[in-house]
Amino acid sequence: MPTLRAAGDVWLWEEDRVIPRRVLLEQVSTATGLYTMLTERVDRELLAAAPRLRVVSNMAVGLDNVDVAEARRRGIAVGHTPDVLTGTTADMAMALLLAAARRLGEGIDLVRSGGWGPFDPHLLLGRDVHGTTMGIVGRGRIGTAVAERAAGFGMRVISHSRSGGIPLPDLLREADHVVVTAALDESTRGLIAEAELRMMKPTATLVNVARGPIVDSDALVTALREGWIMAAGLDVTDPEPLPPDHPLVALPNCIVVPHLGSATHRTRAAMAGLAAANLVAGLRGEPLPAAAP
């Protein structure tokens, strides 16, 4: 990271696993800047252990792992990486929607198991995406980009968010496909639970590219098993990572991928660069290019 090294001494956690909490607390005790990912919990305990800290730069658009209010109270700037991952994450939402609605996971498994036989007009019938209604939960940057892509499929788009749209129950009852792109906070934690899943059409698809805890995992397992909804496509889960023996993994009508929403070479490089720019600006006492809202 030449940009960061030019700004000062850098300590880097180089192991391919989440940094242990005790190590993180020890290292921040003398740090003036902190570069994090969503796996690091920047809470009151950590901020209190870092008396010299001037800036926290989170390599993610979401800030649910950072106590932004406490950081501000301590005069610590907080940055994140919006915009640069919007299109890529919206692409993933559409990919999961198409894969879940058209039962691609089941089709791949059938071919790999040797079960693909003569043409059968009833084999793995899915649901159309074109000409249907998409409901977007959270109409921010990513939700808006998903809506733009849905328009290309001739979809009618309805939405629910803090800034407007229709009531959530109305959206859930009306949509053929529901895509969750909302930010995670206390108002959205568990937003899609048993009552909400029961409101959806039995032919509906649920896609989550936001944060796992917005959807109640236990309720989703039941919904998929009992046919409250047809299918789900998940880029994020609760817990995350999802254990391989979790019931969602075994369900044929649930596609789970390991948080790949922004996982392209170009986008991850842009995220890393913006996070570095935020950190350097904060260390210099300059406005952050992408400060937390």
Mean pLDDT (whole number) for 56-70: 97
The structural domain count of the chain equals 2
pLDDT of residue 3: 72
The angle at the Cα of 286, spanning 282 to 292, to the nearest 5 degrees, equals 60
Q: Pick the catalytic residue from 240, 265, 266, 284.
A: 240
Same domain, 25 and 160: no
Strands across the sheet with 33-36, in order?
33-36, 55-58, 77-79
Q: What is the pLDDT of residue 8?
A: 79
Same domain, 91 and 77: no
Report the 3 state secondary structure along 66-93: ECHHHHHHCCCEEECCCCCCHHHHHHHH
What pTM does this model have?
Answer: 0.94
Does residue 228 come out as left (phi exceeding 0), alpha (psi in the -120 to 50 range) or beta? alpha
Pair 215, 111 in one domain = yes
Whole domain around residue 131: which residue ranges? Answer: 86-256
From CA 78, how far away is CA 84, in angstroms rounded? Answer: 17
Residue of 211, 226, 268, 286 with catalytic role: 211
Q: Is 174 labeled as catalytic in the residue annotation?
A: no
What are residue 34's phi and psi, to 5 degrees? -135, 125
Which member of 54, 103, 177, 259 is catalytic?
A: 259
Residue 288 lies in a domain: no
Do residues 62 and 97 share a domain? Answer: no
- Region 244-268: what's the mean pLDDT? 98
The yes-or-no answer on residue 40 being catalytic is: no
Residue 118 is predicted with a pLDDT of: 96
**Residues 66, 110: Cα–Cα separation, whole Å:** 43
pLDDT at 34 over 70: yes
Q: Give the mean pLDDT of the chain.
A: 97
Residues in contact with 131: Cβ distance below 8 Å, sequence separation at least 6, in sequence order: 153, 154, 155
Q: What is the CATH number of the domain that holds 274?
A: 3.40.50.720
The reply to whether 105 and 31 lie within a common domain is no
Say whether 259 is catalytic. Answer: yes
As a whole number of angstroms, the distance between CA 47 and CA 118 comes to: 63
Residue 176 lies in a domain: yes
Please report whether residue 150 resides in a domain: yes
The reply to whether 94 and 18 lie within a common domain is no
163/168: higher pLDDT: 168
pLDDT tens-digit series, residues 266-281:
999 999 999 999 999 9
pLDDT tens-digit series, residues 74-121: 999 999 999 999 999 999 999 999 999 999 999 999 999 999 999 999
